[in-house]
Structure 1
């Protein structure tokens, strides 16, 4: 008997790059796949191996520049130091703006919130994130709360790796896959 998985047929984009936070990329990726989704790792270069802050490798399957937001149901923005570099990419910013305009999942954890901040999509959104970017979030017009997870419409935010179970539950809640 075949098991029906709640996210079968859905596709999700995960940004990767040098010094990503290992758990914040891999935990949601594997959780989405466990629920039947397809995931794509996209970096500034295709087929490049990027090392996480703790040395775990990820290989970008495609370039960020080749991504079309219409092909995905949502995006995961992991933390680490990677977001500080990726938020300088016009394509990353336009993708996030397109996901927002379409009301698709935008999930950011820890320093991953830097990317939606730079995309200008957090104004009036209830969020959390690493305490290190609290001022950035507030200055971007977001409504800050210190909590393990915040879900506001299609936005899901968490603070740090220890919040990952709540973060993934929030993602599944938005996707109605709980």
Structure 2
């Protein structure tokens, strides 16, 4: 099992490190991808090492995709390769987990339409306009898609990710 996390500077620290560490605890090979290699820094100052650039990612090599929140998705959604990676996971019905602002990447990739999802309340209207069926719940699972609202929901988000990778 291999997991890929898409992120950039100003990610929500807990929303990146919580799934990263859950994967590591489960023995999953997990990589962080961003626009450039090096260090990205969370909005609370915690650094994360970027393993791959988006251009280096072969999405065929990964089984699950996670998109962390914070302000990072505003940058990630502007990268065409990141959107191609996201579309790949949906086209092949592979698990995708997005929390908080992470759904912005789904919206820009054009994969939110017709899906049940939740997100940070400030992105709710964008998700609805993109054609998603918004639900205000701690976690929403719709087939291969797992979404949560914010760091307070990480326990539910993590629980559903672990269920998905055990299938």
Residues 45-91 of structure 1, C-alpha deviation per residue, up to 9 Å, x if partnerless? 11x11110000001101111110110000110000101001101100
TM-score by length of 1: 0.92
Structure 1: runs of 5 or more not aligned = 1-9
Q: Residue 68 of structure 1 is aligned with which of 58, 61, 72? A: 58
Within the alignment, does 1:20 sit opposite 2:11 as a pair? Answer: yes
Distance 1:53 1:137 in 2: 23
Within the alignment, does 1:166 sit opposite 2:166 as a pair? Answer: no
Q: Residue 140 of structure 1 is aligned with which of 119, 126, 130? A: 130
Q: Residue 154 of structure 1 is aligned with which of 130, 141, 144? A: 144
Residues 109-154 of structure 1, C-alpha deviation per residue, up to 9 Å, x if partnerless? 0001100110000111000000000001000100000000000000
Aligned to 2:66, the other structure's residue is in SS state: strand
CA contact (8 A) 1:109 1:160 kept: yes
State the Cα distance separating 1:175 from its structure 2 match. Answer: 2.4
| Alignment-derived partner of residue 87 in structure 1 | 77
Aligned to 2:43, the other structure's residue is in SS state: coil
| Alignment-derived partner of residue 6 in structure 1 | none
RMSD of aligned residue pairs (Cα, Å)? 0.8
Aligned to 2:87, the other structure's residue is in SS state: helix
Max Rg structure: 1
Where do 4+ consecutive residues of structure 1 move more than 3 Å? none
| Alignment-derived partner of residue 120 in structure 1 | 110
Q: Residue 38 of structure 1 is aligned with which of 29, 38, 45? A: 29
Structure 2: runs of 5 or more not aligned = none
Residues 145-169 of structure 1, C-alpha deviation per residue, up to 9 Å, x if partnerless? 0000000000000000010010011
Within the alignment, does 1:131 sit opposite 2:121 as a pair? Answer: yes
CA contact (8 A) 1:81 1:111 kept: yes
TM-score by length of 2: 0.98
